[in-house]
Structure 1
């Protein structure tokens, strides 16, 4: 086909694949499952690629009253976890002819403002990560004309969401705390994120429960903004407070753990010989520091993929996949048995 030739149409694709135009519409609109065979769907896709056919999405969306656009709302872009969630969501969206807009809420975990004149006119649905359901009222609507809302990493007991996708945060925090207790640590410090959200409340409860089950173990808690420097300041203050010095720090995030390692160096403490430090999330930062951080790996891309899949299922009237996504403990060089007590 020359550059002056007419653009291929769905009729051309149908003719090349040996099917009807209705079948082409079903396949390219991702509505073929249960109605068209895998082989026929493959023939249509192959013909579409060969001919360079691109459906007129604007016209189709106008007919259907949809935009094929989802909004992913996150509290910040400073944490790579959210970038990885977006990557997973965008991959699934692209497979289904959807687009995903990334929106870092100006209020963090607080109420999110509508970035459009009317979100309900511009979007087919909203996915929100690590926020409260009520914070999405301005986007999802409260007057009965709700946009479908899928919540990621949020309170499963809160009403208002069409679907939820969570990772097993409690299990991750329990695993890393039990790892430190198993090494022999009994004086633990929880460097907790100073963020009022469900995910961090769950982390605090899991750490406390794990320590409570071990005779002779003690836990203190300090809070800090989810930043390296804030983690350093909080850990340094806690390590110089009168009383038994902690031998292990359980941090709510890798950035807090990196700050704790800086605090240890400033105080002349060696990690892990004098002080064990653990993180959470398994960001790139976890292997950029020395020693590398023991941490909990979260399947961020899978969270995004399942979140987008849940939204698509809701839009199609199907039930989203259930169950929490598993996490894994990654043991590296920042944790070791506590130093032998003297005197």
Structure 2
């Protein structure tokens, strides 16, 4: 077949999307019997060959961010795992991709069988609309709470943040500043909840003025930590919701002649390479970023093979990593 031209013709004749025709051609099981019959009849009228495997599957991987150490680890793991499954990957990455209307056009791509969406900026309604078109996809590291019928995988953010703050509370800290990410992000909201839970267990009420919501960069961490440390009564510890923010907080402490951890404890989240390169090395929470990519592919392969995952939303455990940037509360 002249695949692209013929698939488009068959889709028009059957009144379905190009992606649906592609799935019938590849003999995927996640096509409704009535829809499959419509496509087969259109194929018969056009003289096309009967369906069967026409080649390797292709998965569209969308990560509309810079592929730095955080996103790079997730995407690299996805790529390696897809290769083990014999699946081709089409990568759509970079900040500019945030403004592309990809979700509405994905089901009409004739050579794309499924997708993995990494921290998609679109809201839940857009994801539901994509799912209702019968297009298989999985969300890795969702930005907002995933809809009920959308498969996703993330880290256990709440438990990780609770363990980190509990570690500081155990060192005697009660006045803890927080440098969080953007508001209304699933990870940030869950980490804030975990932080508050650890404080509540110690009988400490959280102080709203100690929480700063910023973009997750070292420069924003420096700015927010500077504001916390310039208050008349500075906190004894600062929890940052990623390691880059924590690197900025370390710089703010150094600029003010504060010794970490003797005068101030600083902690991060993610355990990227930067956390081991700072001086002192960062206490942080390790996210299983590579495992997140592998599990996303595993979920997607099960969907493509016709299985409905029993656990649609998977949370992978985190690990508290204690290094040199946290210590007892100053006396």
TM-score range relative to shorter protein: 0.7 to 0.9
Q: Secondary structure at the match of 1:166?
A: strand
Q: Secondary structure at the match of 1:174?
A: helix
The 1-side partners of 2:137 and 2:103 are apart by 16
Unaligned runs of 5+ residues in structure 2 are 1-25, 29-48
Q: Structure 1's 91 and 107: CA in aligned 2 closer, same or farther, altered over 3 A?
A: same
Deviating runs (4+, > 4 A) in structure 1?
Answer: 115-119, 140-144
1:249 pairs, out of 232, 238, 258, with: 238
Contact (CA 8 Å) 1:250, 1:278: kept in 2 or not? yes
The 2-side partners of 1:142 and 1:307 are apart by 17
The 2-side partners of 1:158 and 1:111 are apart by 20
Q: 1:298: which partner in 2?
A: 287
Aligned counterparts, 1:204-223, within 5 A: 204-216=192-204, 218-219=206-207, 220-223=210-213
Aligned counterparts, 1:161-180, within 5 A: 161-180=149-168
Contact (CA 8 Å) 1:232, 1:259: kept in 2 or not? yes
Q: Structure 1's 246 and 130: CA in aligned 2 closer, same or farther, altered over 3 A?
A: same
Q: Which moved more, 1:203-212 or 1:153-162?
A: 153-162
Q: 1:268: which partner in 2?
A: 257
Cα RMSD of the aligned pairs, angstroms, is 3.0
The 1-side partners of 2:217 and 2:304 are apart by 37
The higher-RCO structure (CA 8 Å, 6+ apart) is: 2
Q: 2:229: which partner in 1?
A: 239
**Cα deviation 1:1-56 (Å, max 9, x = unaligned):** xxxxxxxxxxxxxxxxxxxxxxxxxxxx9x9xxxxxxxxxxxxxxxxxxxxxxxxx
The 2-side partners of 1:143 and 1:150 are apart by 10
The 1-side partners of 2:132 and 2:319 are apart by 40
Q: 1:201: which partner in 2?
A: 189
Aligned counterparts, 1:25-104, within 5 A: 63-64=52-53, 68-77=57-66, 79-104=68-93
Q: Structure 1's 80 and 173: CA in aligned 2 closer, same or farther, altered over 3 A?
A: same
Q: Structure 1 residue 145 and structure 2 residue 133: aligned?
A: yes
Q: Structure 1's 216 and 307: CA in aligned 2 closer, same or farther, altered over 3 A?
A: closer
Contact (CA 8 Å) 1:106, 1:112: kept in 2 or not? no
**Cα deviation 1:178-232 (Å, max 9, x = unaligned):** 0001110011001111254211111112112221221246542012211101110
Q: Structure 1 residue 330 and structure 2 residue 318: aligned?
A: no
Q: 2:176: which partner in 1?
A: 188
The 2-side partners of 1:67 and 1:116 are apart by 24
Q: Cα distance, 1:112 vs. partner?
A: 4.9
Contact (CA 8 Å) 1:133, 1:159: kept in 2 or not? no
Contact (CA 8 Å) 1:67, 1:124: kept in 2 or not? no
Contact (CA 8 Å) 2:58, 2:90: kept in 1 or not? yes
The 2-side partners of 1:144 and 1:180 are apart by 46
> What is the total number of aligned residue pairs between the two structures?
279
Q: Cα distance, 1:135 vs. partner?
A: 6.6
Q: 1:113: which partner in 2?
A: 101
TM-score by length of 1: 0.73
1:284 pairs, out of 273, 281, 299, with: 273
Q: 2:11: which partner in 1?
A: none
TM-score by length of 2: 0.75
